A = this chain, B = another copy of it.
Amino acid sequence: MSFEFSDNLRKMKSSEIRSLLKYVTMPGMISFGGGLPNPETFPSAELKEIMDDVIENYASQALQYGQTDGLQLLKNEIRKFLDRDENIKTDTDNIMVTTGSQQSLYALSKIFANPGDYVITEAPTYVGMISSLNANLVNSVSVKMDSNGMIIEELEKQLEYLKSIGKKPKFIYTIPTFQNPAGYTMTLDRRKQLLEIAYENNIPVIEDNPYGDLRYSGTKIPTLKSLDDHDIVTYLGTFSKVMSPGLRTGYTVSQPEVLSRYNILKQALDLASDSLSQYIAYEYLNRGIIYKQIPKTIELYKKKRDIMLESLDEHVKDAVWSKPDGGMFLWLKLNHNIDTSKMLERALKNKVAYITGSAFYQNNPEINTMRLNFTYSSDSDIVEGVRRLAKTIEEEVKN
């Protein structure tokens, strides 16, 4: 039988990143494409111990359906973690446990915006936000960044533009710290300016902070949420980068009136998040293992970042790139107007993979850009991969 399908998915296409996952496993391929944490950072031994104890002590709850808003024990640990780690003062009523942060990107897009509405993102922005907007038929205008994050004048310009077409943005989405894909971090001044603009125009802000704990240089900058005295910021956190992404456990901090809507929607999306993973995350926080794990992860990733930056300096001509103080990615821009999607075939032939920059724009991509991940590959593969990338660029420029 051949079916008729709805029009709901008309703006969606398969993420190039997800599709590229398969190259990661091809023999000889060095992939800077994925967004994968390094398995060396997974606290396997500690998690094994935790799992044993969870089954010993909580089997009948950890294997049962949970509450839609999440495990109360875990929410309380998240509250304490946010206070200690990010100076975010909140209450468990303002916390929702989510099936990864991805679920929140989808849900918040649907809760705040009707089909055809507009939101504001950074340019480039996280590909998972783009797919969530597309799935909900929501449009975006995007704000240019420099190495200090979102350019506030550009934000004002986009707000003016939306006003001129009679639209008010339904929210501003930002990854202010170690942005994915660009690696930039928004300065404190700009954070304050962004909040002022949000307050003046009553525009909700979604702060996505998956990488905040992974700082390798420079000084910590307060999260938007910790600066927010008008309760306008919805904050997204995840354990994907500081415990394990396989456990699909994230959290969202927001007003109860946002979370009550999210709760109703989540009942339709998946009823509740995985109980076992929530109990594991609870013990991971409760036992303080997260505080031992983060420095280890930083040590590993800092070295890899440094190796990639040094290798780029040494080998790559005809391009500029960001110098991230943390996170997992850097952003490379070719000096020539070369389309990195077209160059990808040559790169794969040279056994190196990246994500073409155009994946990170809902519209108007900068085609001569790419995202490079520096956390997954071995140290020696980073050196060799950058060499292959340099060769690929050189060959492409010549042609």
- Residues of B with C-beta under 8 A to A66: 246
Q: A245 — nearest CB in chain B belongs to which residue?
A: B65
Question: Which of B51, B60, B61, B106 is A55 in contact with, Cβ under 8 Å?
Answer: B51
Does A232 make an interface contact (CB < 8 A)? yes
Interface residues of A in 263-319 (CB under 8 A from B): 263-265, 267-277
Interface string of A158-177 (1 = CB under 8 A from B): 00000000000010000000
Question: Which residues on the B side are within 8 Å of A106 (C-beta)?
Answer: 268-270
Determine how close the nearest CB of chain B comes to the CB of A250; give it in whole angstroms: 10
Report the stretch among A3-11, A84-92, A331-339, A360-368 that lies at the interface: A3-11
Q: From the candidates B1, B36, B42, name the one contacting A230 in the complex (CB within 8 A).
A: B1
Q: Is A39 an interface residue (CB 8 A)?
A: yes
State the CA gap A136–B106 with chains docked (Å): 13
Shortest distance in angstroms between A39's beta carbon and chain B's nearest beta carbon?
A: 4
Q: Which of A70-116 contact B (CB under 8 A)?
A: 99-100, 102-103, 105-106, 110-114
Q: Is A379 an interface residue (CB 8 A)?
A: no
Contact status of A103 and B270, CB under 8 A, knowing A9-B261, A12-B265, A55-B47: yes
Q: Which of A12-61 contact B (CB under 8 A)?
A: 12-15, 18, 21, 35-37, 39, 42, 44, 47-48, 51-52, 55-56, 59-61
Contacts of A59 in B (CB 8 A): 39, 42, 44, 47
Q: Is A132 an interface residue (CB 8 A)?
A: yes
Chain A interface size band reads 35 or more
Name A100's contact: one of B9, B48, B271 (CB within 8 Å). B271
Does A64 sit at the interface, judged by CB under 8 A? yes
The answer to whether A114 and B6 touch across the interface, beta carbons within 8 angstroms, is yes
- Interface residue? A134 (CB, 8 A): yes
Instruction: Collect the chain B residues with CB atoms within 8 Å of residue A117's CB.
Output: 6
- The minimal Cβ–Cβ distance linking A249 to chain B, given in whole angstroms, is 8
| B67, A111: Cβ atoms closer than 8 Å | no
**Given A48-B52, A102-B269, A270-B102, A64 contacting B6 (CB threshold 8 A):** no
> Which B residues touch A63, using CB under 8 A?
39, 42, 44, 47, 244-247
- A22's nearest neighbour on chain B, judged by CB, is B67
Known: A8-B111, A14-B264, A204-B1. A103 touches B257 (CB 8 A): no
Provided the pairs A114-B7, A204-B1, A246-B66 are in contact, do residues A267 and B15 lie with their beta carbons within 8 angstroms?
A: yes
Q: Is A62 an interface residue (CB 8 A)?
A: yes
Please state if B276 and A204 are interface contacts (CB–CB under 8 Å).
Answer: no
Question: Which chain A residues have a beta carbon within 8 Å of chain B's beta carbons?
Answer: 1-9, 12-15, 18, 21, 35-37, 39, 42, 44, 47-48, 51-52, 55-56, 59-68, 99-100, 102-103, 105-106, 110-114, 117, 128, 131-132, 134-136, 170, 199, 202, 204, 230-232, 240, 244-248, 255, 257-258, 260-261, 263-265, 267-277
User: Can you pick out 24 interface pairs between chain A and chain B where the beta carbons lie within 8 Å of each other?
Assistant: A1-B199, A2-B257, A3-B202, A3-B257, A8-B111, A8-B114, A9-B261, A18-B271, A36-B64, A44-B63, A48-B55, A52-B52, A62-B246, A64-B246, A99-B248, A103-B270, A105-B268, A131-B268, A132-B268, A135-B268, A135-B269, A247-B274, A248-B270, A248-B274
Known: A1-B255, A47-B63, A269-B269. 10 other contacts (CB 8 A): A2-B257, A3-B202, A3-B255, A3-B257, A4-B112, A9-B111, A13-B264, A35-B65, A47-B55, A48-B52
Q: Which 10 A-B pairs have the closest CB atoms?
A: A246-B275, A39-B60, A63-B244, A44-B59, A135-B268, A131-B268, A42-B63, A48-B55, A63-B246, A1-B232
